[in-house]
Structure 1
C-alpha cells in the first residue's frame, strides 16, 4: 500500500500512522482513548463537537467527567470487560456535555494493546443518537396512538349502533343512521390528516366550529341535539388542528364510555370564548354520577398531556361535579394556527 501511496503522492505520501491519525481526527464520531485507570489520553475533533470540551481541557482528566453520577457503575463494568480483552459493541447510554446537558450516545469500546500484546488502555467511539432516539420515541407514541384510536373506534362503533337503535324504525333506517355516522367519522380523518397524494407537508386549516361539527356530528341523534355548542369562532390550522381534534375525540369517547353520552338522557354543552385565548368549557349533565378517578397514568392521559402542554401549550382542568364532569381547556389564541 505504501508503494501505491508513494506513486500517487510522491514524497508527500502520508505514512500509515498519518492516515490513521487523519481518519480519527476528521471522524464525525467522538473518538477517545484512555488508560485502564480511566485517564483520557487522546481527544479528537468529533469529541469536541459532541461534548464541548477541548483536548487541552480533557487530556489527562478522568473519563468520569462525562458520566452522570447514576451511571458511574458503567465505567467499572466496561473497564472490567476491556481488561479481559473483550470489545463493547454499540452500547446505548447517556453522557454529560460541558454545559451539563445530557446526550444519548452509542458506545463502542475496544482494548488497546502494546507491542507485547498486553492491554494498556481502551479506545472509545461515541456516536450521538439523540435524534434516532427521539424518532424512535415518536414512532412508539404514534403506534400507541394508532392502537388507542383503533380501540376507541371500536367503542365508538358499538355506541353508534346503540344510539342508532334508539331512533331506528326499521333495519333500513338503522343502516342509514349508521352510514351517516360512519361518514362523519371519515370526515374527521379527512379534516385532520394531510392528503398523501399531494404535498404531505401542507398544513390543513379550518375553523373551530367546523372542526367541532366534523368531530362531534357522529355523536348527534336525529330526534334531539345532545351536544350543543355556544360561543365565537376562530381559525385553526397546522398542528393545532390535529391536536384539538384528538382532544375532542378523547373527550367524546370518554363521555360515551363513562359520561353523559353513556345514558340516553345525557347531554353536553360546549362554550367557546376566543378573546386573547381560546377558553373551552365542556359541561356534561344527565349522565351517571361521576367521581374523580385520581391520578391517571393511562395512554389517554399521557396523550392529553402531550397534546395540551406540548402541542397546544395550554392548560386543562377538570371538575368532577355530582351532576357531571366539567372540563376547562385554555389555549393561547396564536397557538391555534401554528
Structure 2
C-alpha cells in the first residue's frame, strides 16, 4: 500500500526508517493479535523482559503478566477492539526470571488495509527508577513534615516549662537558647542529603555526645573523654537523647565537672546482649554537691527523655564525683 501518494521506493524507505527506530529503541515495542498472541518483539523488549524474540513470538502475552494483573489485559483488549488507545498506563509486569518491573504502557490498535482492527502494538517503558525517586521524595517530605511538627511541639513545651523555673527573663532566654541550640546541633547530624532515603539516615552515639558537649570542652586541654563502643542512633531516638545529654551537660557545666572551677568528664559505653549502658563520671577538684532538694524542670525533662527511650537512669554521689548509669535498649536507639 502506498502512503499519501508516495512512490514504492519512498514507501520502502519509510518502512526501513520505521524498522530501524523500532529495532534501536530503548523501550520495549511489541505487537500482538486480538487473541493476545505475540507477533513481534524488539530488542528493547528482550532487554526489559528477558525473553528473546524467538522465545516470545507465538506465545501468549500473559507470559509477562502476573496472575493478579490478568484482568488488565482483558480491559485493554476491550478498548483496542473499540478503536481506543491506552496511554501511559502504569502497571507491573513479570520478567522471565520471575522478578517484577514497574512499567508505563501505551497500547494502540493495529489496522489492516481495509481499516479493520487486527491487533495491538505496545510500547512499554521501565519506570522503576522514576517510581523509586518519587517514593524517596515522598519519604523525604514525610520526614520533613514529621520533624517540623515535632520541633514545633517540642519548642512550645520547652518555652512553657522553662518559664516555670526561670527566675528572670534573662535566665529564661539563656536556658531556652542553650536547649534549642543543642537540639539544632544534634539534628544537624541526622539531616538527610537531598534525594537520600531518610529512613536510612542515622548518626552515632559518639557523634551525638561530641556535638552536645563541644560547647563545654576546652580547646587546649580537653576535659571530656569518651571511651567504649559506638552504636548508630536513628531519628526516632535522636530528640530524646539530645535533650537527655543536654541536661546532663548543663548540670555538669553549672555545678559539676564542666564548671569554671575545673574538672573532668569521663564517659564509657558498653553493650551486652540487647542493652547499652552509658557510664557518666564527673570528677572535680572541689567536692560536688549531693542530690538536689527538689526536682526542677531539667529533672522532669530528663525523666521524660528516659521514658521515651524506655530506659533507666541511676545517680550516685561518690567521693570521686558524680556517677550516672544510663541503660537503654539497643533496638530503641536505632528506631
TM-score between the two structures when normalised by the length of structure 2: 0.64
Q: 2:82 aligns with which of 81, 84, 88?
A: 84
Contact 1:31/1:124 (<8 A) preserved: yes
User: d(CA) in 2 for partners of 1:116 and 1:254?
Assistant: 78
**Aligned Cα root-mean-square deviation (Å):** 4.5
* 1:211-290 matched pairs, under 5 angstroms: 211-212=208-209, 214=211, 232-234=228-230, 244=233, 246-249=235-238, 251=240, 272-273=269-270, 280=276
Is 1:329 matched with 2:327? Answer: no
Instruction: Give 1:180 shift.
Output: 1.3
Contact 1:207/1:233 (<8 A) preserved: no
* Aligned partner of residue 329 in structure 1, secondary structure: helix
Cα 1:206–1:78 shift into 2, 3 Å: closer
* 1:41-80 matched pairs, under 5 angstroms: 41-80=39-78
Residues paired across the two proteins, number: 258
User: d(CA) in 1 for partners of 2:240 and 2:176?
Assistant: 21
* Aligned partner of residue 59 in structure 2, secondary structure: coil
Instruction: Give 1:109 shift.
Output: 0.2
Cα 1:183–1:96 shift into 2, 3 Å: same
Larger Rg, first or second structure (1 or 2): 2
* 1:182-193 matched pairs, under 5 angstroms: 182-193=180-191
Unmatched 5+ stretches in structure 2: 215-224, 245-266, 279-300, 313-326
What's the counterpart of residue 18 of structure 2? 20
Instruction: Give 1:163 shift.
Output: 3.9
User: d(CA) in 1 for partners of 2:302 and 2:113?
Assistant: 82
User: d(CA) in 1 for partners of 2:333 and 2:52?
Assistant: 44
Unmatched 5+ stretches in structure 1: 218-228, 256-269, 292-317, 333-338
User: d(CA) in 1 for partners of 2:63 and 2:165?
Assistant: 71
Cα 1:187–1:27 shift into 2, 3 Å: same
User: d(CA) in 1 for partners of 2:119 and 2:140?
Assistant: 43
Is 1:172 matched with 2:170? Answer: yes
Instruction: Give 1:327 shift.
Output: 2.9
What's the counterpart of residue 117 of structure 1? 115
* Aligned partner of residue 331 in structure 2, secondary structure: strand
Cα 1:17–1:287 shift into 2, 3 Å: closer
Contact 1:40/1:63 (<8 A) preserved: yes
* Aligned partner of residue 15 in structure 1, secondary structure: helix
Q: 149-158 or 166-175, which moves further after superposition?
A: 166-175
Cα 1:329–1:212 shift into 2, 3 Å: farther
